[in-house]
Amino acid sequence: MTRVDIRPVLRAAQPPLGALAPALALGALAAGSSVALLATSAWLIARAAEQPPILFLGFAIVGVRAFAIGRAVLRYLERVAGHDAALRALAGLRVSVFRRLVPVAPDGLRATRSGDVLTTVVQDVDALQDLPLRVVQPLVSAAIVAGLAVVGVAWVSPQAALVLAIGLAVTAAAATAVLAALSRDAERRISPLRADLADAVLEYVSRWETLRAFGADGERREALLALDARLRRAQSRQSAAAGAVAALVTLGGGAMLIATLLAVQPELASGALSGPELAMLVLLPLAVIEVVGALPSAVGAWWRVRTSAERIATVVPEHVPAEIPLAPEHPRALPPIGQPGASSLRLAGVAAHWPGDARPALAPLDLELHPGDRVVLEGPSGAGKTTLAHVLVRFLEHEGRYELGGVDVRELHPDEVRRRVVLLEQHPHLFDESIRQNLIFARDTASEDELLAVLERVGLGEWAVERGGLDAPVGERGRLVSGGQAQRIALARALLCDAPVLVLDEPTANVDADRSEALLEELLGAAAGPERAVLVISHAPVPDRLVTRRVRIRPAR
C-alpha cells in the first residue's frame, strides 16, 4: 500500500475535544470511584479491626456507599456520552467519505474494487468509531486515574507511590510489547484477509449461477473456505495475544501487591504508617491495574483504526485525478434555456484519455449539435463512443475545445453542464427500490400521471400495470426485470428530465430488434422539436429516417 495521508480521515472520525470532554471526565471519575471504593473499604476494615468506637468509622462508611453508587452511575453516564459522541462523529465521517467520493465519481473510481467499497463502508467506517470510543477515551481516562492514584499514594507513602508508578509502567510496557510482538502482525494480516474474503463472498454469491454452470463452484467454495481458515488462524493468534496480556495484567497486580507490602512494611514498623493506611496502600494496586487493563485493547483498537483509515484514504483518493473535471472557482452562468444558441454544443479537436491510462481513448473529434438535430454517432466498439459520452457530461476531462452555449465548458460548473446535457448510460443503475423511486429522482415534481405517461411512452405502460403499479419493486440491479425492461426504465428516466441535449449511449443494446426502431422513433419523436438536440450512440444500425445526420468515429489507437 502506498503511503497515504490518513490524517483527514482520522480528523473526521475524531469528535472535537469539547464533544468528548464529558465522556472523558465521567470515565475518569468512574474509574476513580472504583479505586476509591476499594481503598476506602480496605481502610474501613483495617481500622475496624483496631476496634475503635463505631462513630470513627462513620465517614468511611458513607464514603464506601457513595463510591459504590458513584461508580455504577458514572460508568453508565460515561458509556452513553462516549457512544453518542462516537456516533455523532460517524455521521460526519460517512458524509466526509462520500464527499470525497462525489467529485471523483464515476470515472476517477475505476480502480476502486466494489468489494472494497463494501468493506470500506460497512467495516472501516464502523471501525473508525473505535477511535474516540476505544482509543482516545480509555487512554486518557486511564492516564488521569493512574496519575491521580500515584499522586494520592505519594501523599501517604512515597515508597508505595514509587512501587505503584513503576508497576503500572512496567505492566503497560510489557503488555504493549507482547501485543506488538504477537498481535500486530496478525492484525496486519487480518484486514486484507477480511477484504479478500468479502470480495470472494460477493463474487461467489453474485456469480453463483455461472460458477455452477461451469462446474467451478466447488473450486471457488474451497478457495473461499481456505481464505476463511487463514483468517481464522490469524484471529486465533491475535486472541492468544489478548489472553497473554490479560494474564500479564493479573501478574502485574499481584506483583505490585507483594512489592507494596514489602516496601511499606518498614514504615509500619517505624510507626510512620498506620495499619489501615497500609491495608489501603497494599490493596489499591488491584483496583488501579484494572484501569490499566484497558490499555492493551486500546492499542489494538488503534491499529485497527489506522488500517481502516489507510484503506479509506487509498480507496477514495483525496485529490481528484487530472482527468476528472473540477468545478471552476468562479463558474460562469449559461444563458437561459430557450435563448438562441444557448444550448448549442460545439466540439473542436476534442480528445480524451482515462485516468491511469495515458493511451488516448478518443481521437480528436469535431462535432456541432444544435437544437432540432438528431445525430447518430457510429463506430466500432473501442472507438471511444462511450468516452465521448462521458466527456459530453463532464465525467471526463478532455483536450481541445468543448463549448456549450458559446461558453467553454471548463468555465462552467459540471452540474450546470449536466443540467443541459443528460446522458442515458449504457449500464444505467437501477436502485433496489420501487419503479417510482427509480423514476422520480430524474424530476421529483413529476406527478403520478406523468410517471405513468412516460412509462407508456417507452412501452412499459402495460408492464407497470401488470406488475402492480409504480410501487412494484425493481429488484437489485434489475434482477426482477428483464434486460430490455431495465433499459426502458432508464430511458423513461432520461425522458422525464427535460434537458435540451440528450446523449443516448447504446439505448437499444438490450431491447428487441423489432421494438428498437420503434423505441428510437418514440424517443427521438419525444425529443424532436426546435429546442432539443439528440445524440444517439449506437453500434446497431439506426434507420436514416430517424436521424438528421450521421457521424462516424475511428479508433484512436
Partner 1 sequence: MASIVAFCWFAASSIAAVIEGAPLDSLGMLVAATAASVVARALTQAALDGLAARGAARVKSQLRRRAIEAIDRGGSASLGSRSSASLATVIGPGLDAMDGYVGLYLPQLILTAVATPIVVGVLLLADPATGIAVMVTLPLIPVFMVLIGWATQAMQRSQWEALQSLSQGFLEVVRGLSTLTIFGRQHRQTTRIEAVTDAYRTRTMKVLRVSFLSSFALELAASLSVAVVAVSVGVRLIDGAIPFALGLFVLILTPEAYLPLRLVGARYHAAADGIAASDDVLDLIATGADARLARAAPPAPETPRDGEAYDVALALRGVTVERAGRAVVSGLDASWRHGSVVAITGPSGTGKSTLVAAILGFVPAGGRVLLAGRAVPADERLTRIAWAGQTPELTSGSLEEVVTLGSEHPDPALVARALALAGTLDVPLTTVLGPAGQGLSGGQAQRVAIARAVYRALERDLGTIVLDEPTSALDAEAEERVVRGLRTLAGEGRLVVVVTHRPALVAAADVVLDLGSASARARLEARGPEVVAR
Q: Which residues 195-214 are close enough to bind partner 1 by CB under 8 A?
A: 197-199, 201-214
- Please give the residues from 498 up to 537 whose contact with partner 1 meets the rule CB under 8 A: 506, 509-516
1 touches partner 1 by CB under 8 A: no
Least distance from partner 1 to the Cβ atom of residue 370, Å:
22
384 touches partner 1 by CB under 8 A: no
- Please give the residues from 462 up to 481 whose contact with partner 1 meets the rule CB under 8 A: 463, 476, 479
DSSP secondary structure letters along 534-548: EEEE-SS---GGG-S
Q: Which stretch binds partner 1 (CB under 8 A): 164-172, 347-355, 418-426, 545-553?
A: 418-426
Task: State which of residues 7, 16, 59, 98 lies at the interface with partner 1 (CB under 8 A).
Answer: 98
427 touches partner 1 by CB under 8 A: yes
Of 25 and 182, nearer to partner 1 (C-beta) is 182
Of 215 and 530, nearer to partner 1 (C-beta) is 215
Q: How far is CA 336 from CA 393, 419, 442, 479, in A?
A: 18, 11, 20, 40
- Please give the residues from 101 up to 120 whose contact with partner 1 meets the rule CB under 8 A: 101-102, 105-106, 109, 113-115, 117-119
Please list, in sequence order, all residues whose beta carbon lies within 8 angstroms of the beta carbon of residue 271, skipping any fewer than 6 positions away.
none
Of 278 and 375, nearer to partner 1 (C-beta) is 278
Residues touching partner 1, count (CB under 8 A): 154
379 touches partner 1 by CB under 8 A: yes
Taking the C-alpha atoms of residue 34 and residue 288, their distance in angstroms, rounded to an integer, is 8
Least distance from partner 1 to the Cβ atom of residue 366, Å:
22
Please list, in sequence order, all residues whose beta carbon lies within 8 angstroms of the beta carbon of residue 156, skipping any fewer than 6 positions away.
273, 277, 280, 281
- Please give the residues from 261 up to 300 whose contact with partner 1 meets the rule CB under 8 A: 261-262, 265-266, 268-269, 275, 278-279, 282-283, 286
Least distance from partner 1 to the Cβ atom of residue 230, Å:
11
340 touches partner 1 by CB under 8 A: no
Taking the C-alpha atoms of residue 328 and residue 557, their distance in angstroms, rounded to an integer, is 31
Closest to 71 in 3D by CA, of 61, 60, 81, 63: 63
- Lookup: cell for 207: 456469480
320 touches partner 1 by CB under 8 A: no
Closest to 546 in 3D by CA, of 526, 520, 514: 520
Task: State which of residues 19, 25, 79, 165 lies at the interface with partner 1 (CB under 8 A).
Answer: 79
Orientation angle between helical segments 275-292 and 137-156, nearest 10 degrees: 160
Least distance from partner 1 to the Cβ atom of residue 114, Å:
6
Of 11 and 477, nearer to partner 1 (C-beta) is 477
**Measured between alpha carbons, how far apart are the two ends of the chain, in Å?**
32
81 contacts 18 by C-beta, under 8 angstroms:
no
Please list, in sequence order, all residues whose beta carbon lies within 8 angstroms of the beta carbon of residue 545, skipping any fewer than 6 positions away.
none
Q: Is 354 left (phi over 0), alpha (psi -120 to 50) or beta?
A: beta
- Please give the residues from 129 up to 168 whose contact with partner 1 meets the rule CB under 8 A: none
Map grid coordinates 473450486 to a residue: 219
Of 154 and 497, nearer to partner 1 (C-beta) is 497
57 contacts 306 by C-beta, under 8 angstroms:
no
Taking the C-alpha atoms of residue 342 and residue 352, their distance in angstroms, rounded to an integer, is 25
95 touches partner 1 by CB under 8 A: yes
- Please give the residues from 535 up to 554 whose contact with partner 1 meets the rule CB under 8 A: 539-541
247 touches partner 1 by CB under 8 A: yes
Q: Which stretch binds partner 1 (CB under 8 A): 86-94, 179-187, 365-373, 400-408?
A: 86-94
As to burial, measured by CB atoms within 10 angstroms (0-12 exposed, 13-18 middle, 19+ buried), residue 94 is: middle
Classified as helix, coil or strand, 459 is coil
Q: Which stretch binds partner 1 (CB under 8 A): 50-58, 157-165, 167-175, 350-358?
A: 50-58
Least distance from partner 1 to the Cβ atom of residue 273, Å:
10
- Lookup: cell for 547: 436521424
Task: State which of residues 10, 15, 41, 492 lies at the interface with partner 1 (CB under 8 A).
Answer: 41
Taking the C-alpha atoms of residue 449 and residue 197, their distance in angstroms, rounded to an integer, is 47
Task: State which of residues 216, 272, 327, 333 lies at the interface with partner 1 (CB under 8 A).
Answer: 216
